[in-house]
Amino acid sequence: MDYREWLPKILGAAFSSVVGDYRGYDPSVDATIANEFTSAAFRFGHGMIQEFYQRLDPNFGNSSFGALALQKGTLHSDVLVNEGGPDPLVRGMFTQNVKRPQRVTTTVTENMFGSTDLSTINIQRGRDHGHPSYSKYRELCGMGVATSFDHLSREILNTATREKLEKIYGSVDRIDLWVGALLEDPVVRGLVGPTIACIVGPQFKRTRDGDRWFHEKLSGSDISLPAARYHKWISTNGKNSSAVVL
């Protein structure tokens, strides 16, 4: 599901070049998780969090409980259980449009965990982990050396956004990786910018190609194993739902 459905939508046209088709286990590949992947780039999903999530009844009409506010549901599973269970929320996710990650909602910056700002945590995490600046990663990803904020115009199209970055950071060499990468306009048919695609895509490729037990490596009599595992997953998790939405 990750490689066939989710990742191609995240990386868009970049998927074929940075991940591509599976060609078998490669023992020379180091599948170690990169620091910049786990502590910055893969946290682009924080920008996809929405303030409200639709809840729909079995006929895909509006639930009597209404949309679920992220602030209300975070760390409060009792709210979900007592207000119709997970099914209405799952139905809503089938119909609700995805949010691009380039802008973080105020729920994430002001109300995620009490008064904690998740964006600030991400920025500080990158500094704690010793990330080079965004401009360094941008250069490593083949987008050239940036010596001024105007040089970011191909990746960050909005002039006002670049001006705000200049006001806050003063120099392109001081932009935090998570901030700069998240603000990039998405690649063609994708949801993330080129720097995140450059970090996330190759990591998924290494994780897949360097895994001797990756499910697509199975062949012969084992070819039905992925389908069997999926069937078991559906059967197990279906016990906790009153209906399976197709």
> What is the total residue count of the chain?
246
**Pair 154, 148: CB distance under 8 Å:** no
Q: Where are the alpha helices (DSSP H) in 141-190?
A: 159-169, 177-183
- Known binder of ligand: residue 46? yes
Nearest Cα to 105, choosing from 26, 218, 182, 186?
182
Nearest Cα to 34, choosing from 235, 233, 200?
200
75-104: buried (b, 16+ CB within 10 Å) or exposed (e) per residue? eeeeebeebbeebbbebbeeebeeeebbeb
Phi, psi (rounded to 5 degrees) for 183: -80, -10
- Annotated binding residues, as ranges? 46
- Annotated binding residues for heme b, as ranges? 46
